[in-house]
Structure 1
Amino acid sequence: MARIRAAFHDPDGTRYGIPTYWWKGAPPGYATRRQLTAADLRPGGQPVAAQVLWRGVGGTRTAYLYRVDLAAPKRTATPAQRAAIGKALTARRTCPTCHTVRPYFIPRSLGECVDCAYPQEDAA
């Protein structure tokens, strides 16, 4: 086992407090949040079960692992929630000055659409 791998190998958690593995060295049955999301799962309130440590840019990097067998299925949005999200996104594209729905989000720095913020450029 390489020295770097040996430095991060602590499967019983005596050195780091929780079971710790090296990069790509975790046993099956553990997954990161992104891996759970890709499998349409979520941690479901379970605590961090283990971690992966590796040397990266700026020092030691950490990825927390959760048990796959305790993961819950992802929740889906209700039709009312989807409708509310659609209305909120439409409101972000609606100019408060000219009340036109634009194909882009209204810049918060301007507070209105680009055409209303810079009317002299349209005339040219």
Structure 2
Amino acid sequence: MTGPAGRGPCGLPTYPWRLAPEGLATRRQLRAMGLRPGGQPVVAQIERPRRGRGPLVAYLYRTDQARPVRPMTPAKWRAVAAALAARRTCPACGLDRGYTIPISLGICVTCADALAIAA
């Protein structure tokens, strides 16, 4: 296929799923290449049809205008580590359980079991 299949509601060239031309990539594809859009506008889109629902749409960016991904700084690494530690720490007993506390329980499994036995 040489050209787009049509124009989307935004006026962007629209390509069928898996038929985007060379030189265009989605955000995930750019990330896999170690790149980011870098402020450039969306140049096209691809649509994947779905039964009974609207199509999935992925926006495409030019790979020649993409910039390298910014490296993680030590402060960012510390912030990510702190956020992950907070997800592992039980608010009831205050222990780092080594796993992410289930949102459905709000506390660690041990504390939830103790509450269920006490009730």
TM-score, with structure 2 as normaliser: 0.76
Aligned equivalent of 1:112 = 107
Q: Distance in 2 between matches of 1:106 and 1:87?
A: 15
The structure that has the greater radius of gyration is 1
Q: Distance in 1 between matches of 2:70 and 2:91?
A: 34
Query: Percent identity between the aligned chains?
Result: 53
Q: Are 2:40 and 1:46 equivalent residues in the alignment?
A: yes
TM superposition outliers: structure 1 runs of 4+ over 6 Å: none
Amino acid at match of 1:39: M
Aligned equivalent of 2:31 = 37
Question: What's the CA shift string for 1:11-43, capped at 9, x where partnerless?
Answer: xx6x97222323333221111111111101111
Aligned equivalent of 1:78 = 73
Normalized per residue, which structure has more helix?
A: 1
Q: Distance in 1 between matches of 2:115 and 2:54?
A: 52
> Gaps spanning 5+ residues in structure 1: where?
none
Normalized per residue, which structure has more strand?
A: 2
Aligned equivalent of 2:13 = 19
Report the count of equivalent residues: 115
RMSD in angstroms over aligned alpha carbons? 2.9
Q: Distance in 2 between matches of 1:120 and 1:83?
A: 34
Question: What's the CA shift string for 1:81-107, capped at 9, x where partnerless?
Answer: 111211221122122332221021223
Q: Distance in 2 between matches of 1:24 and 1:111?
A: 41
Q: Distance in 1 between matches of 2:67 and 2:5?
A: 28
Aligned equivalent of 1:67 = 62
